Amino acid sequence: MLADATAAATPHALARALPEGFVLGTATAAAQIEGATTAGDRTSSVWDRFAAEPDRIIDGSDTSRTADHYHRFAEDIGLMRELGADAYRFSFSWTRVQPGGSGGLSREGADFYDRLLDRLHSAGIRPFATISHWDLPVEYPQGWLDRDTAQRLGDLAGLLGERFGDRIDSWITINEPATVTLNGYALGLHAPGHSLLFDALPTVHHQLLGHGLAVQALRAAGVPGRIGITNTHSPVIPASDSPEDHAMAALFDLVHNRIYADPVLLGRYPEAPDFLGDALAAFDEVPSEDLAQIHQPLDFYGLNYYMPTLVAAGAGEGESPDGTSAAMADLPFRLLAFEGVPTTGFGWPIQPAGFARALTEMQERYGDVLPPVYITENGASFPDEVGPDGTVDDTERVAFLRDHLAAALAAVAPGGPAEGLDLRGWFVWSLMDNWEWAAGFTQRFGLVHVDFTTGERTPKSSFRWLQQLIAARAEAR
């Protein structure tokens, strides 16, 4: 079990612990906030289609309106400015910028991102752009099961690089391929909704290849911005000391963490344990040219951290609270709940020590070759409501953010367990409440509350907390 420190850091103490030049920002993704799915010549994404299928989204909601950011982006950038944030991580909606997933950029789609980028620049906010955050065009028949989709991502990166390269500070090729493979292709919980279990593994390689091709296309377009990828990392804890639990924890670590980070950072897939038989054999046969494409020099590595994972051997439903358990029942391991650990609205364990562990594992595994790291997402959902006085007092989120940032800074500080890891920034997920994929509007992750009927924005206490931290940093300089 991981032990969490208890002392709460004040904004001033945290501000003093921030390394020079540390970036404080917020993050979003197009499908979760933009809405306006029929504006201009935008076409359907796999998430538009998935949400239209029966029983896929918990509250039956869809992508058509979400937070209506397409129409309210100026107001949202105004909020970022009020916050004092240094940077904003957003994603391009693939089917808005390239309707149908082929050909050149859409004039109307590209115009929207021109307006967004220009306004961010006038507000003094550095744009971090994700090219692919889960919303593939429906025209790619098998999605990431097709190798050709990798080439499509490379082509899109080239087009975006040429058009927006002068205004983007940092590029993220792809967001969390692990979640796409696991939830989208192995368990059927996310778009495109396949339940292929281990047969989903080709999507790992194709996404990573897409990343490598995108890096090369951006470099060929001569973008001055820095280029990286975003992966999630969940430290995996065995449920007991038994060899069986240890073996299954190692397996989950392999398929959730290492299989994505190793090829990108080390240029090879991890070796599969013998007991897996030939379940990962396809990776032994990957041509070395593919690995060379994937193993591109990167300017930074984006890491998303939400929670650690507790794994026990043996098939069955487990206790994962967010719908994954039933879908995983046929696998040889189960995810268990951490006893006595508080949880978020999603039921995810709140463990800042897990964040320190994630950074420590990154440093231990990849230290020599790990580029500077940005935490490209960290945050939590809670059932926030606007109170009678018109405010949203999300004290649990304030504590979550404060304790996680403190744990990460302590981990990388001199003498910390992840000392040597060059941590450059932290992006809160999320700027505002949004459409939380298969959980629809039931999980609020925002610093800003959104009324999904009226679109009204209300900054929460956590927004004020981050604002104070940013102000305290300015005073400390």
Nearest distance in Å: CB 269, ligand BGC: 22
Question: Is beta strand 457-459 parallel, antiparallel or unpaired with respect to 300-304?
Answer: unpaired
Closest CA to 127 of 179, 181, 73, 178: 73
Nearer Cβ to ligand BGC, position 127 or 302? 302
Nearest distance in Å: CB 29, ligand BGC: 5
Nearest distance in Å: CB 19, ligand BGC: 25
Site for ligand BGC in 283-342 (CB under 6 A): 304
Nearer Cβ to ligand BGC, position 176 or 262? 176
Nearer Cβ to ligand BGC, position 144 or 429? 429
Give the sign of the dihedral formed by CA 65, CA 71, CA 75, CA 81: positive
Nearest distance in Å: CB 175, ligand BGC: 5
**E-only strand ranges, 308-365:** 309-313, 333-336
Neighbours of 342 (CB within 10 A): 12
Contact pick of 61, 64, 142, 179 for ligand BGC (by CB under 6 A)? 179
Nearest distance in Å: CB 124, ligand BGC: 26
Nearer Cβ to ligand BGC, position 29 or 418? 29
Task: Kindly state the number of chain residues that form the binding site for ligand BGC, as judged by CB under 6 A.
Answer: 9
Site for ligand BGC in 77-116 (CB under 6 A): none
Contact pick of 48, 176, 245, 403 for ligand BGC (by CB under 6 A)? 176
Nearer Cβ to ligand BGC, position 238 or 345? 345
Nearest distance in Å: CB 130, ligand BGC: 9
Nearest distance in Å: CB 259, ligand BGC: 17
Contact pick of 63, 173, 175, 458 for ligand BGC (by CB under 6 A)? 175
Nearer Cβ to ligand BGC, position 106 or 203? 203
For residue 348, CA distances in Å to 1, 45, 320 come to 15, 28, 8
Nearer Cβ to ligand BGC, position 23 or 189? 189
Binding mask 1-40 for ligand BGC (x = CB under 6 A): ----------------------------x-----------
Nearest distance in Å: CB 278, ligand BGC: 30
Print burial letters for 382-412: b (CB count within 10 Å at least 16), e (below 16): bebeeeeeeebbbebbbbbbbbbbbbbbbbb
Query: To which H or E segment does residue 302 belong?
Result: strand 300-304
Is there a catalytic annotation at residue 377? Answer: yes
Helix (H, G, I), strand (E, B) or coil at 146: coil
Structure-block tokens of residue 310: 């507790």
**Interacting span for ligand BGC (CB under 6 A) from 44-52, 139-147, 174-182, 287-295:** 174-182
**Interacting span for ligand BGC (CB under 6 A) from 113-121, 154-162, 173-181, 196-204:** 173-181
Site for ligand BGC in 194-233 (CB under 6 A): 232
Helix (H, G, I), strand (E, B) or coil at 260: helix
**Interacting span for ligand BGC (CB under 6 A) from 12-20, 43-51, 171-179, 352-360:** 171-179
Query: Contact between 436 and ligand BGC (CB under 6 A)?
Result: yes
Query: To which H or E segment does residue 130 belong?
Result: strand 126-132
User: How deeply is 104 buried, as exposed, middle or buried, from its count of CB atoms within 10 A (0-12, 13-18, 19+)?
Assistant: exposed
Cβ contact 289:217 at 8 Å: no
Helix (H, G, I), strand (E, B) or coil at 248: helix
Instruction: Exactly one of 176, 361, 396, 436 is catalytic; name it.
Output: 176
**Interacting span for ligand BGC (CB under 6 A) from 75-83, 113-121, 172-180, 206-214:** 172-180
User: How deeply is 16 buried, as exposed, middle or buried, from its count of CB atoms within 10 A (0-12, 13-18, 19+)?
Assistant: middle
Q: What backbone torsions phi and psi does residue 257 show, to the nearest 5 degrees?
A: -115, -60
Nearest distance in Å: CB 385, ligand BGC: 20
Cβ contact 402:8 at 8 Å: yes
Cβ contact 305:231 at 8 Å: no
One-character DSSP codes across 199-238: GGTHHHHHHHHHHHHHHHHHHHTT--SEEEEEEE---EEE
Nearer Cβ to ligand BGC, position 260 or 283? 260
| Edge-to-edge strands, sheet with 236-238 | 236-238, 309-313, 333-336
Instruction: Exactly one of 75, 139, 364, 377 is catalytic; name it.
Output: 377
Nearer Cβ to ligand BGC, position 283 or 355? 355
d(CA 189, CA 91): 22
Neighbours of 260 (CB within 10 A): 25
**Greatest Cα pair distance in the chain:** 62
Is there a catalytic annotation at residue 271? Answer: no
* Positions marked catalytic: 176, 377
Residues in touch with ligand BGC (CB under 6 A): 29, 175-176, 179, 232, 304, 377, 429, 436
